[in-house]
Chains A and B, each alone.
Chain A
Amino acid sequence: MNNAIDIRGITKKYGSLTALDNVTFSVPEGMMLGLIGPDGAGKTTLYRILTTLLSPDAGTATVAGLDTVKDYKGIRAEIGYMPERFSLYQDLTVNENLHFFASLFGVKVEDNYDLIAPIFHQLSKFPNRRAGALSGGMKQKLALGCALIHRPKVLLLDEPTTGVDAVSRSEFWDMLATLKEKGITILVSTSYMDEAQRCERIALIDKGRILDVNTPEKLVEGLGEHIYNVSAEKMYPLLEALRSLPEVKNCYTFGATLHIATESGFHPADAIRRLSDMGLTDVKIYPANGDIEDLFIKLAGNGE
């Protein structure tokens, strides 16, 4: 299978700050790859290089088989891009936005109707509403529609769902799944870990370096730690108490419970006894399945 995106040794510096440090990974055609990393990890810089807006200091990258520096004009017809926090022209209507972006690529809105049909269907209820008057979720869908208008081979989405509610986010990801089925390669970054689970592969990025690229399952397997759920009525004192235990390597909030990552010699019953000596009598400890979020916390914690 050919690689739709191929990144080889990309480095980019801003003065003394290294935004990207020898980044190498590739995305095969038709795959959805999630780029996961904290703020300032270099995600947006990588997107700007792939979209030809920025030249790397070292290394090369190809998108749809075209070099981002030499063939930058050719790439532009092949990619659909949604920049971070982007929300189209607020003072133009839904239709005006769609037609404007279609004209940029020399196509008609109807040309690739099958691709944007689900979005178009939802938007067709208010073709003359200004984009600024749409809800956050609808704005994102409109922006996706505009990015798809020329049937790009590769879709580059930079935190497309930030600030969007859970229902709209879920619908947005359903749409991405449909697009993937139609053979479009997708590189998407997100800070929502539940979304990361929906990607075929995940590239973990921190401080400009790629830490690992793998399927969500494989990544979690590589966690290599014993994770337990811990809960009690009074969570904050529990958190402090757990951190004082020597065999607890890390302790952090996790939904309704706390997660602890432990050394191999950890015995829940023993820990419960010691916690009860500290005045916490209602503690429950049971094994947990670590997920991407645990992995992320581990990797980010190591970096500090």
Chain B
Amino acid sequence: MENDITISVKGLTKRFGNFTAVDNISFEVRKGEIFGFLGANGAGKTTAMRMLCGLSYPTSGSGTVAGYDITRQAEEIKRHIGYMSQRFSLYEELTVKENLTLFSTIYGMTSNAIKAKTENVFRILGMENMKDAPVKDIPVGWKQKLAFSAATMHNPEVVFLDEPTGGVDPVTRRKFWEMIYRASSEGMTIFVTTHYLDEAEYCNRISIMVDGRIKALDSPERLKEKYGVKTMDEAFRIVARDARRGE
């Protein structure tokens, strides 16, 4: 079972001066799991995520991602994860194909592998007719799928999604989540933050961060049961109610 753990974190803490952004968090994520990382604005989600991606060193505590230590093997981690955020995902001026090639090259794929993989992505997404269109000219729904494909071109073990669906309409969001389901069913681990609590229901397990700590961690059904509510939205509000930060 030990090999089934893709992300493992023990006592992870990050301080900026007097401010403890992430306060002693511990959790494990299994291979192929969709793990929802929830929390109010300013709860410390982004800081925690940056440490897991090898972008920032923890003040104390330890963790492994895809089998690599987050403090000592940051470069290895970057090679084995994918990352996508709402703020940046693709280069608007490059074409669809150029974007995919660029991201694959960054991750050190060979040109043969890139060619095969891009053809495959176009076929699965049904985008053959727009592969030479600049990204800025394609509809937002396609951009989302494309961004996810770009982040997973190198078949990473884990993909980190930082509010991937912010400000996107329900139809586009659904199509995006279908891609996540597919990736997860193929064994990819998904680590996702979101403000849409209906999306939290799609996750296998959810953690809710409040003021730098993990206040709740379980499957959506059991969390709803525990707080005696019908929706994740209500459960989240009960858990996050006492937050002192976020002001």
User: Do A and B truly interact?
Assistant: yes
A interface with B by C-beta (< 8 Å): 37-40, 122, 125-126, 134-138, 159, 162-170, 191-194, 234-237, 239, 252-256, 293, 296-297, 300-301
* B122 surroundings in chain A (CB, below 8 A): none
A58 to B231, CA, bound (A): 45
* A193 surroundings in chain B (CB, below 8 A): 170, 198
Closest residue on chain B to residue A297 by CB atoms: B171
A87 to B166, CA, bound (A): 16
A162 touches B170 (CB 8 A): no
Minimum C-beta distance from A179 to chain B (A): 21
Residues facing A in B182-199 (CB within 8 A) are 182, 184-185, 195-198
Known: A135-B41, A135-B246, A163-B195. A191 touches B167 (CB 8 A): yes
A162 touches B166 (CB 8 A): yes
Residues facing A in B42-66 (CB within 8 A) are 42
Partner of B171, one of A137, A165, A234, A296: A296
B167 touches A253 (CB 8 A): no
B170 touches A136 (CB 8 A): no
A43 to B227, CA, bound (A): 37
B221 touches A256 (CB 8 A): yes
Most buried by A among B39, B170, B232: B170
B interface with A by C-beta (< 8 Å): 39-42, 86, 139-140, 163, 166-172, 174, 177-178, 181-182, 184-185, 195-198, 201-202, 220-221, 231-233, 236-237, 240-241, 243, 245-247
A237 to B201, CA, bound (A): 18
A20 to B174, CA, bound (A): 26
Closest residue on chain A to residue B87 by CB atoms: A163
* A134 surroundings in chain B (CB, below 8 A): 247
* A234 surroundings in chain B (CB, below 8 A): 185
* B171 surroundings in chain A (CB, below 8 A): 38, 296-297, 300-301
Minimum C-beta distance from B129 to chain A (A): 15
Closest residue on chain A to residue B34 by CB atoms: A235
* B169 surroundings in chain A (CB, below 8 A): 37-39, 191, 296, 300
A134 to B178, CA, bound (A): 35
Closest residue on chain A to residue B43 by CB atoms: A165
* A192 surroundings in chain B (CB, below 8 A): 196
Most buried by B among A122, A167, A169, A193: A167
Minimum C-beta distance from A120 to chain B (A): 14
A137 touches B41 (CB 8 A): yes
* A168 surroundings in chain B (CB, below 8 A): 40-41, 246
B202 touches A255 (CB 8 A): yes
* B220 surroundings in chain A (CB, below 8 A): 256
Closest residue on chain B to residue A191 by CB atoms: B169
* B139 surroundings in chain A (CB, below 8 A): 40
A167 touches B236 (CB 8 A): yes
7 A-B contacts, Cβ less than 8 Å apart? A38-B171, A122-B247, A164-B195, A166-B237, A167-B236, A253-B202, A300-B169
Closest residue on chain B to residue A194 by CB atoms: B233
B41 touches A165 (CB 8 A): yes
B40 touches A297 (CB 8 A): no
Partner of A164, one of B41, B170, B172, B241: B41
* B201 surroundings in chain A (CB, below 8 A): 255-256
* B163 surroundings in chain A (CB, below 8 A): 163
Minimum C-beta distance from B212 to chain A (A): 14
Known: A37-B169, A135-B246, A167-B241. A253 touches B185 (CB 8 A): no
Partner of A138, one of B184, B185, B237, B247: B247
The 8 closest A-B CB pairs, nearest first, are A38-B169, A255-B201, A236-B185, A136-B41, A236-B181, A165-B40, A162-B167, A135-B246
